[in-house]
Structure 1
Amino acid sequence: MGRQLAFEETNRIDIRKLKKDCLLNEGFSYTLKWHCGGQETGSIHYDCLATGLSLRYRVRSGDAWLPKQQTVSFAHTQCHFGGTRKWLVCPQCERRTTAVTFAFGAFKCRKCHVLPYFSQQESTIDRLIRKKHKIGKKIFEDYDGFGWQKKKWLHWSTFRHLSEVYIRLDQIIDRFIWQNLES
């Protein structure tokens, strides 16, 4: 049995990325494109209105493409030190969210699509390996799964501490693999 589709594997509209790229100005139109392996897998045109995003996209139905239109509203909350934060409102459950994801023919929040995060589906060994690689990228120069050279400007005390954690994780992973091979 295969694992369930994860949130990170879907095409989504993330308001944080749109804000960072200055694509949330009222009256602004833009086309978002998604790629996989260098090939375009989807695109969506949106118009930014004062009240939300007007989305126009196509959905495959057999061999034909059906045009779809959907509106995702904005919500605003006050920030502690002034200003407001803009959110997307899920078209189905009307919860505030940072991202709406496209799955099963419509844009909705992760909870409405019942999509887990990738990390929620990881096994113990996968989680340990991911943690080891995260530390390796932080402390080793040109990390590609193995490391030996300290990153420039990294304090020696930090390097020594994280190297010990890295080595301990490596030992735990090896022990875990050997135990599973023996049984």
Structure 2
Amino acid sequence: MGGFGSGGHNLRKRYLEQFRSLNAAYFQKHSILTDGWRGMIHWKNDSQDKPCISVEGGRNQVTLIYRARQDNAADWKNVRDTFPIVWSPRHLGGAQAYFGCLRCNARAKLLYLANLHFRCRKCHNLVHASSQEQPGNRATRKNQKLRAKLGAPQGLGDYVPRPKGMHETTFQHYLERIEEAECEINDDMIRILQRIQKTSVRLSINQKDFW
């Protein structure tokens, strides 16, 4: 069984995108939350080593069995954790499954592997990478994502054609979100230019004082 401890799992910047995760909705969809279920879960990896864990499923709890090492340490440790499954009623019927975090007891849709164990995002103190982005970078990524959904050019301010079959109201909603993102990009560019201008003025004053 493949272990964990190499790759992007123990980098200093603790972005949740850098850690492997387990999704309770995936467990529910694939009938893992069934008493007596036994199997393996694999993660895609470009290397020959295919990280995986052994899972013992159940309606009210699941057990994870795997090997891991902390901060790329030489020694691997065997880990066995059993998580309670919390069921929450859905508005339209049925129920949604959540993991019960073993550290804080809160319900969590996703668990992340860090420091040897799967725990919720808050317990591992993980944040989305997008939360650390500059406003302009975040808006640029948003603009590109929206344009890609419409099959439109990626350039700032380029014409956005309405996809065939898309309702006009839906299309206008996309256009409004694209316009908001592009306005934020332009505002960020103006702020950058203003900072550059102020820096240039200060450098000019210092040079005059020096000579």
TM range, smaller chain: 0.7 to 0.9
- Give the alignment of 1:16-95 within 5 angstroms: 16-36=25-45, 38-39=46-47, 40=49, 42-60=51-69, 62-80=73-91, 82-95=93-106
CA distance in 1, matches of 2:176, 2:59: 52
Structure with greater strand percent: 1
Per-residue deviation, 1:79: 4.0
Q: 2:145 aligns with which of 119, 134, 137?
A: 134
Q: 1:111 to 1:79 in 2, by over 3 A?
A: same
Q: 1:130 to 1:3 in 2, by over 3 A?
A: farther
Structure 1 alignment gaps of length 5 or more:
none
Q: Secondary structure at the match of 2:51?
A: strand
- Look at both structures and tell me which one has the larger radius of gyration over its CA atoms: 2
Count of residue pairs the alignment pairs up: 179
- Scaled by the length of structure 2, the TM-score of the pair is 0.70
**Runs of 4+ more than 6 Å apart:** none
Per-residue deviation, 1:167: 5.1
Structure 2 alignment gaps of length 5 or more:
1-10, 197-211
In angstroms, what is the RMSD of aligned CA positions?
2.9
State the match for 1:155 in structure 2. Answer: 167
Instruction: Provide, for residues 48-85 of structure 1, a one-character-per-residue CA deviation record: whole Å limited to 9, x for no partner.
Output: 03431111111136334322111111123344555443
